[in-house]
């Protein structure tokens, strides 16, 4: 498995990625959110980025999506290096078909004034699916994410959190991307619904050969969904490896600390008893 992964060309390749933000409290100073991060994602592979809040994992996702401009490093998607100039209309459409994202909060990531059908429909138009066949494709996509055709006529507010997240996934899939970024995409869901969406994501990956970049702080969820994982702390990778190995035998003290904090039967919470770093 590992060998065949190496032979394939990566659909996503990141080298020396960095992002510094101006520090609002000190003029002329900077805080480094992401510091020399590099990784590859092979076609059809699922890579998890694990870290706590402030570790820089969401900033990585935002740079991949073009929502932030990197201060340094190189991003290669589907063999094309992303330059930092403002992309034109054609280029943006091309990028949309390579990389899509599902956000954490299904309550704020869908347009409340559009029906589910229209939301998915618009993505199809962006991909250039002929108008005549869009309706049928919308139905297929809704079915693929476990919704019924009648859900298409509803507004996001009429749906539950789990159903909304399925719509967000359908919207992303409508562009037939090679890579799907899932930024804490199941974190806001109820336990019983979370399992359904995780199974759905596993099925979709198998059927469509999608690659996932799964961003999460939840190691149990990461164990379920990813082949490999990288652990991010203060913007740097402190450990990486195949997920089962990383969780069974963590090498870095920080990974061990993360693992020890996951509630499970027989677990007792421990005080860190060291001063917690103040917020920036």
Please report, as ranges, the residues that interact with other proteins according to CB under 8 A: 52-53, 160-163, 190-196, 198-199, 202, 217-221, 223-224, 244, 247, 257-265, 267-273, 275-279
Closer to other proteins by Cβ: residue 65 or 195? 195
Classify the C-alpha dihedral 77-21-89-212 as positive or negative. Answer: positive
In the complex, least distance from residue 273 CB atom to other proteins, rounded to whole angstroms: 6
Dihedral over alpha carbons 33, 39, 42, 44 (to 10 degrees): -30
Closer to other proteins by Cβ: residue 71 or 196? 196
In the complex, least distance from residue 202 CB atom to other proteins, rounded to whole angstroms: 7
In the complex, least distance from residue 192 CB atom to other proteins, rounded to whole angstroms: 4
Buried b (16+ CB within 10 A) or exposed e, 246-280: bbeebeeebbeebeeeeeeeeeeeeeeeeeeeeee
In the complex, least distance from residue 147 CB atom to other proteins, rounded to whole angstroms: 12
Q: How far is CA 91 from CA 80, 165, 266, 278, in A?
A: 11, 27, 53, 42
Closer to other proteins by Cβ: residue 2 or 131? 2
Buried b (16+ CB within 10 A) or exposed e, 59-93: bbbbbbebebebbebebbbbeeebeeeeeeeeeee
Closer to other proteins by Cβ: residue 71 or 234? 234
Closer to other proteins by Cβ: residue 65 or 187? 187
In the complex, least distance from residue 203 CB atom to other proteins, rounded to whole angstroms: 9
């Amino acid at each position: 498995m590992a060998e065949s992964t190496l032979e394939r060309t990566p659909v996503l390749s990141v080298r020396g990625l960095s992002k510094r933000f101006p520090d609002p409290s000190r003029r002329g100073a900077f805080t480094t959110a992401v510091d020399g991060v590099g990784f590859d994602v092979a076609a059809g592979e699922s890579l998890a980025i694990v870290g706590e809040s402030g570790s820089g994992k969401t900033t990585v996702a935002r740079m991949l999506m073009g929502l932030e401009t990197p201060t340094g490093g190189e991003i290669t998607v589907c063999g094309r290096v992303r330059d930092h100039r403002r992309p034109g209309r054609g280029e943006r459409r091309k990028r949309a078909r390579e990389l899509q994202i599902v956000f954490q909060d299904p309550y704020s990531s869908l347009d409340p004034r559009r029906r589910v059908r229209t939301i998915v429909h618009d993505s199809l138009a962006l991909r250039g699916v002929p108008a005549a066949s869009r309706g049928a494709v919308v139905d297929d996509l809704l079915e693929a994410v476990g919704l019924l055709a009648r859900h298409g006529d509803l507004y996001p507010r009429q749906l539950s959190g789990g159903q909304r997240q399925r719509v967000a996934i359908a919207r992303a899939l409508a562009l037939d991307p090679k890579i799907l970024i899932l930024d804490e995409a199941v974190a806001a869901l109820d336990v019983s619904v979370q399992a359904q969406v995780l199974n759905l994501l596993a099925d979709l990956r198998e059927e469509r050969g999608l690659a996932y970049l799964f961003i999460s702080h939840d190691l149990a969820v990461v164990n379920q969904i990813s082949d490999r994982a990288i652990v991010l702390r203060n913007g740097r990778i402190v450990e990486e490896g195949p997920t089962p190995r990383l969780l069974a035998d963590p090498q870095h003290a920080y990974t061990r600390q993360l693992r020890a904090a996951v509630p499970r039967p027989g677990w007792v919470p421990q005080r860190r008893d060291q001063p917690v770093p103040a917020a920036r």
